[in-house]
Amino acid sequence: MAEAEMQDVSADTATKGSPQLLVQTINLLQARDDTSRFVGLSLLRSLLDLSEKLRNDPELVSKFWDALPARFLTRLLKTSTSLEKGKPEDAKRLNEIAIAVIHTFVSLLPKSTILRDQKLTALCTHIADAISRLNPALRTRAFQILQALANEESNLQLVGDALEPWQRLTGEDEAALREYGRLIQIMRNIKGRTGQQLDYIDGLAAEMVSHNKLANRKQLFEVVSTIYQDTGITHAVLAERIITAIQETILVSKPNPSTIRSIVNLAAIFVHHPSPVTNLNILLLTKPKSLPHDPEKPFIIIFPTLLTIEIRSTLPSLLEHLASPTYPQTALHMANAYDLLTAFTAFLITTLSTILDSGPSTPLPFPPSALLSLRTTISPTLSQTTEFLRDRYDAARTGAPGLDAATRHDLRITSDTVRALTWDNPGFAVFEDPIVVSGLRCLGLWIREDEEGGLRGEVAALMDVLVDLFAGSDEAESEAGRWETLKVSICVIFAVLFGAEEGDEEVERFLGLGGWDLLARELYDCFEERGRGGSAERTQDVVQVLIRVVESDAVPATREAWMDLVKVLATVPLPLSGSREKENQVEEPEEMDGQMEKGDQAEGKGKWKAKLVKVDGDRNETVHILEKLQANTAAERLGLDCENLVAAYQLAVALVVKAPPRLKRVFQDDWKKIKENAEEMLEFGVSNDKALQQGTMDGLKEVIEGLESVESS
């Protein structure tokens, strides 16, 4: 160590006290003969290795770089075994020297200098051509040089056009594939790039996919997922090649578990970021030309079966690794599998609905016999999911998985009790666990559409879990979209359970667990969010659950405490014009849009809601079970706010109709106020054509008629 310090001091002294040494190095680099230039490079390397101050002096480094002739570096890069009369090893060595020198300067020169340096841009093509002749370590340095150049919008086309040698390597060299993926990311993140340039970049990514071989595409799928997981895939050619790669891997080769995981994570992008060229329908129904038609092995059946196998093989041992550092990554992967299965279920529902509407002549996109097979595959998978959700919740809340609610002790901390030791993942609580959020969404959709209802009893056993998860989601620190999705999914499940034959029993359990107070507070919060400029798309889901509770035979009459909802709803401002004085007038679009913008900043733009999404009416495609509902215009926000308020008014009607006569009299002013508000909204809708949807108008009429019947009774 002392010797190294002495060398560094010696070098610094030489660079400061002997400027002739620096001049001599520059002169050698500028010499006409290659021997002098190599001597200069050797001397320069020694100086740079020994002196940190010299390496950190951009002005001096730039002088050395300017002194090195571009033609000299070009000649070194263009030397190949076919042109060099000497030994092949000598030609390769010259290539490596050039790459090492250029890489050194790229790492030391200021970024602004690199991006504008004409010498470097002129060498770009020669660097790319030499890649295939380099050893793996030098290849990586060559990749890094091109990545540095690609940071500038003006260099994008130049670098992109030189990538063919690199693209050929991505099919067999994982390091080349990984670095190529980083290059695509760098290009996509360039500030000021145009949409046309983005198409060009995605075209380069498509070339990477096409050069990859079938033997092992795990690395390819991981690279593509990393690039597009936040933006989605909109390039048609790239999407087509990715779909081909996925289907070929599943149908032709026998992918190992790690490859299957990479496929699931990549395919999830198709449902998280649906587009006309990348959605689940395209993935399921597109048959690549490279694959022969095989009716016995349709991808549309094999893929969801693969998802269920992946889920069922992972869940049993997952709880053992709950506190491990690998759990979050596994949880995200499992959430992707559930999201794909949810989207496939939605696809099935839409497809079968289309056939029922169009008649039996409409062909199924899969063999009819496969439908029963799919049901027998998906149902046990979701049954296992309910078991996992119970164990996952119990581990985090009670310290012992699998305990029935009736057998658990009250674990609240008091002076006489000691809380049980629980375990959870430090990365996120049970309310934020992606498996819990996505698994419940999948369960909600399946039990809603499953006519046999065999799974509903198992889900009903989770009543205490569902109530606590709904309440606990308010404590979650995740983004608003995730807890919004969790609450909507739980509401969907509640509505299904309360509407079933055994619904009265479930309503009693729900009420015994404090469910009414929980959802009533949630409804208050929804309208508070609307008052702050938010939209609270979960409003109607909450209302639907509360209506089913009120209408249940388990509730002989409306309870007095519940009538507070009627009082609150009577005071909710109408979303028509912001004030009574502006009756029958709509705010100027610019004013309303400005308010929406402030609300989006306060609440976060958009929230996730579980519902079927249909695009392209002719093809009736269901692209995803999740739609990011965002009121982009004043008219959309007005329609959504009115729809939510009308749904809440219908709840108020149900409460008043079932209330004892005494409560009807006590809260008479409140429900009459709701009737007046409904009449005002209806008049607004009639006066302003198409301002309100027909469903909203019909709902207002039902509210008015319901309260008129109470008035006349």
pLDDT computed for residue 88 by the predictor:
66
- Is a pLDDT exceeding 90 seen at residue 183? yes
- Is a pLDDT exceeding 80 seen at residue 107? yes
Segments making up each domain of the chain, as ranges: 213-291, 295-404+421-501, 564-713
Give the model's confidence band at 533: pLDDT under 50 very low, under 70 low, under 90 confident, else very high: low
Give the model's confidence band at 85: pLDDT under 50 very low, under 70 low, under 90 confident, else very high: low
Q: Residue 144: what are its φ and ψ, rounded to 5°?
A: -70, -35
Instruction: Answer yes or no: are the C-beta atoms of 184 and 231 closer than 8 Å.
Output: no
Instruction: Answer yes or no: are the C-beta atoms of 624 and 346 closer than 8 Å.
Output: yes
Q: Mean pLDDT, to the nearest integer, of 501-510?
A: 92
pLDDT computed for residue 331 by the predictor:
94
pLDDT computed for residue 360 by the predictor:
66
3-state SS, residue 63: helix
Could you give the CA distance from residue 21 to residue 46 in angstroms, rounded to a whole number?
A: 12
pLDDT for 121-150, tens place per residue? 899 999 999 988 888 888 999 999 999 988
Mean pLDDT, the chain, rounded, equals 82
Cα 476 to Cα 37, 601, 610, 623, distances in angstroms: 64, 20, 19, 28
Bridge partners, residue 609, by sequence? 627
The whole-model pTM stands at 0.82
Q: Mean pLDDT, to the nearest integer, of 251-258?
A: 89
- Is a pLDDT exceeding 90 seen at residue 648? yes
pLDDT computed for residue 101 by the predictor:
92
Q: Mean pLDDT, to the nearest integer, of 239-248?
A: 93
- The candidate with the shortest Cα–Cα distance to 301, out of 377, 218, 381, 382, is 377
Could you give the CA distance from residue 43 to residue 65 in angstroms, rounded to a whole number?
A: 14
Least confidently predicted of 105-119, 205-219, 404-418: 404-418
pLDDT computed for residue 50 by the predictor:
81
pLDDT for 567-578, tens place per residue? 999 999 988 754
